[in-house]
Chain A
């Protein structure tokens, strides 16, 4: 976060709400490291009166006026020996996400000098309630539900949850969707990570329409780890190398020239540097070149000083390693092999990671899970994207930088939709701090309709990668119009989805009924995006009913601006919406016709009053 919030326009001159310190963020994660400077409570007033939670007693954890609540949920078989039986974070993940959403400002933070700057959360004056649900062996459904049960009753304003399954489940067989539904009923938005199973189509999880689903994208900073050869050539690699060899040149050896013959490993295999494949005597104290990315275990166990790997994989996010390490693309790898083959005493060095400008940012990172939505195909998920690549944030001092590492650090750089989710959480809390009465749907709408549009130039999956686009939290406080929705709208949606009346009455806790008059089609849920799917090669037409609420200027006229590429016909009736007071609602109908081939067509609807541009993506795709 030493760059992310600034990348989104946050600076010292930005406006902040006087009630930000009343906002309570519920973090369901691995706990926190309470001594982190990010959670220092200097200057914080007393705990907000609305808080009904507790700080669960444990030997090694105390709350303060920043971390106002903490609980943990442990069942048999969840924890390993390294876990603390308390809300204290043994892993680092929860400390990282919590500081990203709500941490205070800490200057001069870095990972061994890398990414140095001021780290912060989206709402640094907010309070934190910790719900530790994840342990060494995962995050159990029963713990997740127990945390939701408590967090909702405790009085949190936003819930942040950066965990999920590998596959999606029906809404009411999914602990996160169930918890998020009851949070929504109490006016609490749940911000969820979209998953790290991209770019596989349909891999997005946490897709309930009452929660916010967040993809991960890059910022304008990238890390480069340069490798210099004895002949003076320098190549740019892609890792986070925290070690400083100070430019000293070391013997450089090709893995194929160091086979572990005692184990019968041939050169054809040692060149890949698999564990056990290298001759320790030959590689000890040297930098090894490996022809395939097999992770670091093989070179580490053989005692190599460092390693350079040829890697055919994605280079859009970086890992740290417990030894000097860089990965090069195949072309550069060929040049290295040529150097090694033609030089009598080859040498090389690996520089400490430096940072460079990422001119293509933002784009959705390769691992971020993609739509289409596998549960409700005609609701677009993910909803939007936020920074989730190479993020510096606070870390647990009980955890090392990487596995097989002995170094502990107060800040670490990691990537994931786990990292983008708390950015959206912080943004949602920022919006809520200006509009404390807004519903979860209104806050989500504000974030989606003000998102910075992205293009398919960098992401061929288009809206299935980034939803409405990249969050723009400052603009989201003034969206002009919002697509609001409450429990009754989701009940209609569930009726339309075929849930039984008996179950819907149990879920809603009232005598809701389903009928032809009240059943909502998927397309009529008052969502700030529009999606329609059909079989390949078919033409389809769908009618969407929407209502917007004026939250901008009292007297205003919005004109519908439609962007419809060839193959997509979009009609909006009426095409002008006039408002006379804040809170006034106006309805309109969007008719979308699409000639579908084998892929997707996307356009947009923008309601424009000359001041606000209320943007919604419209996506038609072959399912």
Chain B
């Protein structure tokens, strides 16, 4: 059983890029600041902002669950390792 306080990588998928002159990275950092105790940029691994909207961050299970209910979030799921075929 995993420790719910243990951080693991989650993908937070937010769909298409927002319209207009918006800093997507700032949105991602802002969302993390609301739920992470500590420095948000320390847990952010990737900010997807060129072709679609989302980010990858090291989160606890509780933090991931909080993000699931946020407006603008399509899905939050733990990162998996895929295999070569």
Task: List chain A positions with a Cβ less than 8 A from chain B.
Answer: 29-30, 73, 75, 91, 93, 134, 137-142, 144-146, 148-150, 152-153, 162-166, 169-170, 172-173, 175-176, 178-179, 182-183, 185-186, 193-196, 416-418, 421, 503, 505-510
B residues in contact with A418, CB < 8 Å: 84-85
In the bound complex, how far is the Cα of B9 from the Cα of A165, in angstroms?
17
B residues in contact with A182, CB < 8 Å: 16, 51-52
Asked if A144 and B16 sit within 8 Å, CB to CB, the answer is no
Q: List 13 A-B contacts (CB under 8 A).
A: A141-B79, A141-B81, A142-B11, A146-B48, A148-B52, A173-B75, A178-B13, A178-B52, A196-B85, A416-B85, A418-B85, A421-B85, A507-B16
Number of residues on chain B facing chain A (CB within 8 A): 29
Contacts A172-B74, A503-B15 hold; do A140 and B51 have CB atoms under 8 A apart? no
Asked if B50 and A139 sit within 8 Å, CB to CB, the answer is no
Against A, the Cβ 8 Å flags (1 = close, 0 = not) of B44-78 are: 01101111111010000000000000001011010
Asked if A141 and B80 sit within 8 Å, CB to CB, the answer is yes
B residues in contact with A149, CB < 8 Å: 46, 48-52
In the bound complex, how far is the Cα of B81 from the Cα of A145, in angstroms?
12
Q: CB within 8 A of A145: which of B17, B46, B72?
A: B46
Contacts A141-B11, A142-B11, A145-B11 hold; do A164 and B50 have CB atoms under 8 A apart? no
Q: Chain A's nearest CB lies how many Å from the CB of B7?
A: 11
Asked if B56 and A162 sit within 8 Å, CB to CB, the answer is no
Task: List chain B positions with a Cβ less than 8 A from chain A.
Answer: 9, 11, 13-17, 19, 45-46, 48-54, 56, 72, 74-75, 77, 79-85
Asked if B45 and A75 sit within 8 Å, CB to CB, the answer is yes
In the bound complex, how far is the Cα of B45 from the Cα of A324, in angstroms?
47
In the bound complex, how far is the Cα of B85 from the Cα of A416, in angstroms?
6
Contacts A140-B9, A141-B56, A182-B16 hold; do A152 and B83 have CB atoms under 8 A apart? no
Asked if B16 and A509 sit within 8 Å, CB to CB, the answer is yes
Residue among A145, A503, A505, A508 with the highest chain B CB neighbour number at 10 A: A145
Chain B residue nearest to A214 (CB atoms) is B85
In the bound complex, how far is the Cα of B74 from the Cα of A506, in angstroms?
7
Asked if B79 and A503 sit within 8 Å, CB to CB, the answer is no
Asked if B16 and A140 sit within 8 Å, CB to CB, the answer is no
Q: Chain B's nearest CB lies how many Å from the CB of A11?
A: 29
- Inter-chain pairs besides A145-B54, A165-B80, 5 sampled, C-beta below 8 Å: A140-B79, A195-B85, A416-B85, A417-B85, A505-B15
Q: Chain A's nearest CB lies how many Å from the CB of B66?
A: 17
B residues in contact with A421, CB < 8 Å: 85
Asked if B46 and A506 sit within 8 Å, CB to CB, the answer is no
Q: Chain B's nearest CB lies how many Å from the CB of A407?
A: 21
Asked if A139 and B11 sit within 8 Å, CB to CB, the answer is no
Chain A residue nearest to B77 (CB atoms) is A173
In the bound complex, how far is the Cα of B52 from the Cα of A141, in angstroms?
15
A residues in contact with B54, CB < 8 Å: 145, 178
Q: Chain B's nearest CB lies how many Å from the CB of A330?
A: 30
Asked if A93 and B84 sit within 8 Å, CB to CB, the answer is yes
Contacts A153-B50, A506-B14 hold; do A139 and B84 have CB atoms under 8 A apart? yes
Contacts A75-B9, A503-B74 hold; do A162 and B51 have CB atoms under 8 A apart? no
Q: CB within 8 A of B15: which of A145, A166, A183, A507?
A: A507
B residues in contact with A416, CB < 8 Å: 84-85
Q: CB within 8 A of B51: which of A148, A169, A507?
A: A148
In the bound complex, how far is the Cα of B14 from the Cα of A75, in angstroms?
21
In the bound complex, how far is the Cα of B16 from the Cα of A334, in angstroms?
63
Chain B residue nearest to A162 (CB atoms) is B85
Q: Chain B's nearest CB lies how many Å from the CB of A498?
A: 14
In the bound complex, how far is the Cα of B16 from the Cα of A185, in angstroms?
10
Chain A residue nearest to B48 (CB atoms) is A149
A residues in contact with B13, CB < 8 Å: 172-173, 178
A residues in contact with B51, CB < 8 Å: 148-150, 152-153, 182-183, 186
Q: Chain A's nearest CB lies how many Å from the CB of B41?
A: 15
In the bound complex, how far is the Cα of B49 from the Cα of A146, in angstroms?
9
State the 4 A-B residue pairs at the shortest beta-carbon distance, nearest first: A509-B16, A506-B15, A138-B81, A142-B56
Asked if A144 and B82 sit within 8 Å, CB to CB, the answer is yes
In the bound complex, how far is the Cα of B15 from the Cα of A617, in angstroms?
33
B residues in contact with A506, CB < 8 Å: 14-16, 53, 72, 74
In the bound complex, how far is the Cα of B82 from the Cα of A142, in angstroms?
11
A residues in contact with B14, CB < 8 Å: 506
A residues in contact with B46, CB < 8 Å: 73, 142, 145-146, 149
In the bound complex, how far is the Cα of B85 from the Cα of A152, in angstroms?
23
Asked if B48 and A163 sit within 8 Å, CB to CB, the answer is no
Asked if B56 and A145 sit within 8 Å, CB to CB, the answer is yes
In the bound complex, how far is the Cα of B48 from the Cα of A178, in angstroms?
12
Asked if B82 and A138 sit within 8 Å, CB to CB, the answer is yes
In the bound complex, how far is the Cα of B46 from the Cα of A247, in angstroms?
57
Q: Chain B's nearest CB lies how many Å from the CB of A156?
A: 11
In the bound complex, how far is the Cα of B11 from the Cα of A142, in angstroms?
7
